[in-house]
């Protein structure tokens, strides 16, 4: 189902049962998977490889050129998984270096005016709320939620199962399983409701609460010393191990 006003390059590869609405433009070197739905006025640039069952609302601009002033026009790409929703005026940019695409997983929700810049990696089941903004080279792990009008500085990492408050300024890595809020952001607690909704056990949540008290309540305390003071059995708990691994792998430092 392709509306007669849509403009589609002959070099586009379309899957089965694709719906393309009025005034959409799909440029060369785009691959669009099965059952994708473009409502109207959607623009998709190449090189973009898009999976199945993705939905694009009016004025979404997908796979467009990076805004990075260092970008020299080299061929770059965007890779998108399955079952994502891109609401009105969402912008998703390609990478800036050949072989380093912007990558988006599956089952994500990008609300109106959200922005994913060049060379970002977005996992699965992520929500980017209205006007949520990712600068270049940001990594978002699974089940993270970036609330409205929040901005993530380039090269930051956002841990799994975390959530930010609205209008949050994020200039360092967000530890997984936490709530962060503020300008600049600070950790406000464990994402208790989110973890419960996703079926984590009470034992797992209890272990995170104990580790949180040691690592985050006394923000003036030395983080390395706080980690070393954790009970060895607690440090071996799966979610605590994941939290500690994230902290130890941080290059920008973590939000506390």
Active-site residues: which are they? 118-119, 136
Contact (CB, 8 A) for 190 and 207: no
Q: In whole angstroms, what is the distance from residue 220 CA to residue 225 CA?
A: 11
The torsion defined by the Cα of 43, 52, 49 and 42, in degrees rounded to 10, comes to 0
- Residue pair 186/168 in contact (Cβ under 8 Å)? The answer is no
Helix (H, G, I), strand (E, B) or coil at 204: helix
Closest CA relative to residue 92, chosen from 55, 134, 123, 51: 134
For 32, 93, 95, 98, 101, the CA distances from 118, given in Å and listed in that order, are 20, 5, 4, 12, 8
| Residues 37-74: b if buried by 16+ CB within 10 A, e if exposed | bbbbbbbbbbbbbbbbbbbbbbbbbbbbebebeebeee
The answer to whether 208 and 230 are in contact (CB under 8 A) is no
């Amino acid at each position: 189902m392709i509306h007669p006003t849509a403009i589609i390059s002959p070099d586009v590869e379309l899957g089965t049962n694709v719906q393309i609405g009025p005034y959409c433009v799909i440029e060369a070197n785009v691959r669009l998977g099965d059952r994708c739905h473009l409502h109207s006025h959607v623009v998709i640039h190449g090189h973009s490889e898009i999976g199945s069952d993705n939905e694009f609302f009016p004025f979404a601009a997908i796979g467009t050129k990076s805004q990075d002033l260092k970008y020299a026009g080299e061929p770059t790409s965007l890779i998108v998984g399955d079952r994502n929703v891109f609401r009105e005026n969402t912008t998703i940019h390609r990478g800036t270096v050949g072989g380093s695409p912007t990558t988006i997983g599956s089952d994500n929700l990008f609300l109106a005016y959200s922005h994913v810049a060049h060379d970002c990696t977005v996992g699965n089941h992520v929500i980017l709320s209205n006007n949520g903004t990712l600068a270049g080279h940001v990594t978002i792990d699974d089940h993270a939620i970036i609330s409205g009008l929040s901005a993530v500085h380039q090269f930051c990492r956002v841990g799994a199962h975390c959530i930010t408050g609205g209008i949050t300024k994020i200039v360092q890595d967000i530890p997984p399983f936490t709530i962060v809020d503020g300008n600049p952001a600070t950790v406000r607690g464990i994402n208790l409701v989110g973890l419960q909704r996703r079926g984590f056990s009470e034992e797992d949540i209890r272990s995170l609460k104990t580790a949180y008290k040691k690592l985050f309540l006394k923000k003036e305390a030395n983080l390395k010393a706080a980690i070393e003071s954790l009970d060895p059995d607690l440090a071996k708990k799966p979610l605590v191990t994941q939290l500690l691994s994230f902290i130890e792998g941080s290059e920008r430092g973590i939000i506390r």
